[in-house]
Structures are given as C-alpha cells and as structure tokens.
Amino acid sequence: MSLPFACTARTSLARALSRLVAAASIALSGMAAAGPASDSWSNPNESGWGLTVVQEGASFGFAMYVFDSNSNPTWYQGGGTGTATGTTWSGNVFSHRGPYFGGPFTAGSTPTQVGTFTFTQTATNSATFSYTINGTAVTKTVQRLAAGNANLTGNTAGSFIARYSGCANNMADFNDEEFASFDFTQTGTAVSIRVIFQAGATCTYTGTYSQEGRYGRVQGTYTCDNAAAGNFTLYEIESNSRGFMARMTGNVTQNTLACSLNARLAGVIRAVAGF
C-alpha cells in the first residue's frame, strides 16, 4: 500500500493515512505515563519487607510490613491523596494495636499517627517511597512484585486507538481508531501475536514476555503482509479470562512512510471461546 499523494483535501488525506497506518501496524514508541499504582511493591535486593498499595484516582492507601529496631516484624498503614491523573500521592502513616491473631477479634482498635509518606511512581515498574516514622526518615526505591508469568494465549476481538507522529515524510501528526482481532500464542516467555486489522492487513508480532507485578510486557519485532515492519513494546498488559488491555510503543516503516506511534489496545474473548 502506498500513500495517495494525489489527494489534496486534508480530510481525504487523513482518511487515507488512517487506513494506511491501521493496516500497517499498531507498533509504537515512548509513553511516559505509568499505569495505576495498585499492586504489591518491594525492593528485590531487600527481602522480607514491602508494601501493598490500593490507588483509585486521587485516593491512595497502603499497608507496609517492615521490621522494628529489634528486628521484630511490624506493619504500618497509610492513607493520602494526589490527583487522579498524577503519579504522586502523600498523606499520613498510622500504627495499630489489636487483639492476638489466634484469639477472638475485639473491635475498637484506635490508629495512632506516627508519621507521613510520599509515594512517587517514576515509571510503570518503578517508584520512590519516602516516609518518616517517629522521627526516622527513609527513602526507598521499589518495583512491582511479580509472583509469576501470566499466559496471554487466546483469541480476542477489540480495537486500538493510536497516534502517529514524527513521520519522515513530513506528514502531520494524526490520530486513528480501528477495530482488530488479536490472536495470542505464548509458550513460556515466547509470545506471538497475529493481528488482523479491519482495514485488511495482517501483522505478526513476535517477542519475549516479562512480568511486572500486575502487568505484562512483550518486546520484539513485527512484519505485515503489506511490507510494513518495525520494533514494538507492548506494555501494561492486564489480562484475565475475559480479555486484555495494554499500551504499545514502537515504530512503523512501509515504503515512504516512517513514523513513531503510540496506542491503547483492548480485546474481549471471542464467542467461540465460550463465556
């Protein structure tokens, strides 16, 4: 497929570019924003402690399990706020006293504020957690705790919303929305994704899978049956028995077209797979 340079009207060119980019690839490159902070976080070089985070929009809460000055296990709870679209939350830290875990639970435990905290997410899989408890200030670098690799194998139908920019042929930046089907095959960490676009092209993405807490990531290369090719990173992949959501970055080259793209992808399990 080639660019229809004969088109002079912007709307006609936009439609043509939309069809071209959708058919060529959903491959993409460099988003800075990070996904929701809700997850278990730890420092892989410091075993035995960590924190579990629950974040919903501007609201933020955590439970942290650490050791006291006598190396006894203890835990703290915190709560605070930030902004719904931001990456930093701050608030207060509390300690609790309650009944023995092996006996009947007695309600009425009163939390005591012992300090403050700030949690700053620096990327999808990294954050800085700073807190002060009873006058002792600590700053830790943490990452999402992964229990094991998910398996993406399955066939879904969905869509992607993409933006391509910085094209080598000086074409204007453009947004695109397209329906597509996504057929995932995964053996161990080897992943293959066959994508059939509504515009008619079929692309095959192959890469290596890694787990980042609640999220998966696939990095590799792709080729399409219309001569498009490039590199891609599929990241912030959330998958379950109903489908998947993800973002992708990379590049697309095809004939005279060479652009960087960013996209959001989603698919639900097809009816043939059952409900």
> What average pLDDT does this structure show over 90-111?
88
**Residue 272: which pLDDT band, with cuts at 50, 70 and 90?**
low
Ramachandran angles phi, psi of 11, nearest 5°: -65, -40
- CB-CB contact of 190 with 184 (8 Å): no
- CB-CB contact of 173 with 162 (8 Å): no
> What average pLDDT does this structure show over 244-264?
92
Confidence (pLDDT) at 172: 79
**pTM, 2 dp:** 0.80
How distant is the alpha carbon of residue 136 from its chain centre?
33
Instruction: Judge whether residue 33 has pLDDT over 90.
Output: no
Q: How much of the chain, in percent, has pLDDT values that exceed 90?
A: 65
The alpha-carbon radius of gyration of the chain (Å, integer) is: 23
Confidence (pLDDT) at 133: 97
> What average pLDDT does this structure show over 91-104?
91
Q: Using a CB cutoff of 8 Å and minimum separation of 24, what contacts does 166-171 make?
A: 166/259, 166/260, 167/257, 167/258, 167/259, 168/256, 168/257, 168/258, 168/259, 169/3, 169/256, 169/257, 169/258, 171/3, 171/17, 171/257, 171/259
Higher pLDDT, 89 or 160: 89
pLDDT in tens, 102-156: 999 887 777 999 999 999 999 999 999 999 999 999 999 999 998 889 999 999 9
Domain 10-33+149-273 CATH assignment equals 2.60.40:
no
Confidence (pLDDT) at 158: 96
**Residue 32: which pLDDT band, with cuts at 50, 70 and 90?**
very low
- CB-CB contact of 266 with 245 (8 Å): yes
Higher pLDDT, 34 or 101: 101
Cα separation of 162 and 21, whole Å?
A: 9
- CB-CB contact of 101 with 73 (8 Å): no
- CB-CB contact of 237 with 216 (8 Å): yes
Higher pLDDT, 1 or 262: 262
pLDDT in tens, 179-230: 999 999 999 999 999 999 988 889 999 999 999 999 999 999 999 998 989 9
Max alpha carbon distance in the chain (Å)? 80
Cα separation of 131 and 108, whole Å?
A: 26
Q: What is the mean pLDDT of the chain?
A: 85
